[in-house]
Amino acid sequence: MSDEGKERIGVYVCHCGTNIAGTVNVEDVSVWAGEALADEGVVVSRDYKFMCSSLGQELIQDDIKELGLTRVVVAACSPHLHEQTFRTACGRAGLNPFLCEMVSVREQVSWVHTDKNAATNKAKAMISGGVERVVHHEPLEPLKVPINEATLVVGAGIAGIQAALEIADSGFPVYLVEREPSIGGHMAQFDKTFPTLDCAACILTPKMVTAGAHPNITLMSYSEVERVDGYVGSFTVTVRKKARYVVEDVCTGCGICIEKCPRKVVDDVFEAGLGYRKAVYRPFPQAVPKYPVIDTENCTYFERGKCKACQIFCPTEPNAIDFTQQDELVQITVGNIILATGYDLFDARRIPQYGYGRLANVFTSLEFERLCNAAGPTEGAVVLRDGVTEPQSVGIIHCVGSRDNRYNDYCSVICCMQSLKFAHLVKERTGADVYNFYIDMRTAYKDYDEFYQKVLSEGVHFVRGRVAEVTDAARRPGEEGKLIVQVEDTFIGKQRRIPVDMVILSAALEPRADSQEVGQKFGIACSATDWFTEKHPKLDPVATMTEGILIAGCAQGPKDIPTTVAQGAAAAARALSYIQKKELALEPVRASVIEE
pLDDT in tens, 135-181: 999 999 988 889 999 999 999 999 999 999 999 999 999 999 999 99
Tell me whether the CATH fold assigned to 151-242+327-342+512-579 matches the one assigned to 345-509. yes
pLDDT of residue 586: 80
* E strand residue ranges, 250-327: 264-267, 275-278, 280-281, 293-294
- Cβ neighbors of 170 (< 8 A, separation 6 or more) are 576
Q: Tell whether domain 9-134 is in CATH 3.90.1010.10.
A: no
Mean predicted confidence (pLDDT) in 321-345: 98
Rg (CA), the chain: 30
- Fold classification of 151-242+327-342+512-579 (topology level): FAD/NAD(P)-binding domain (3.50.50)
Half-sphere exposure of 302 (CA within 13 A, CB side): 16
The 42-48 sheet, strands edge to edge: 42-48, 9-14, 71-76, 100-104
pLDDT in tens, 374-430: 999 999 999 999 999 999 999 999 999 999 999 999 999 999 999 999 999 999 999
CA end-to-end span of the chain, whole Å?
32
Q: How confident is the model at residue 295 (pLDDT cuts 50, 70, 90)?
A: very high
Residue 5: which pLDDT band, with cuts at 50, 70 and 90? low
Domain ranges within the chain, ordered by starting residue: 9-134, 151-242+327-342+512-579, 345-509
Residue 311's CB is within 10 A of a number of other CB atoms, namely: 18
Q: What is the mean pLDDT of residues 29-45?
A: 97
Nearest to 570 by CA among 540, 527, 528: 540
Fold designation for 345-509: FAD/NAD(P)-binding domain (3.50.50)
Strands 234-241 and 223-231: antiparallel
Q: Does 548 score more than 80 pLDDT?
A: yes
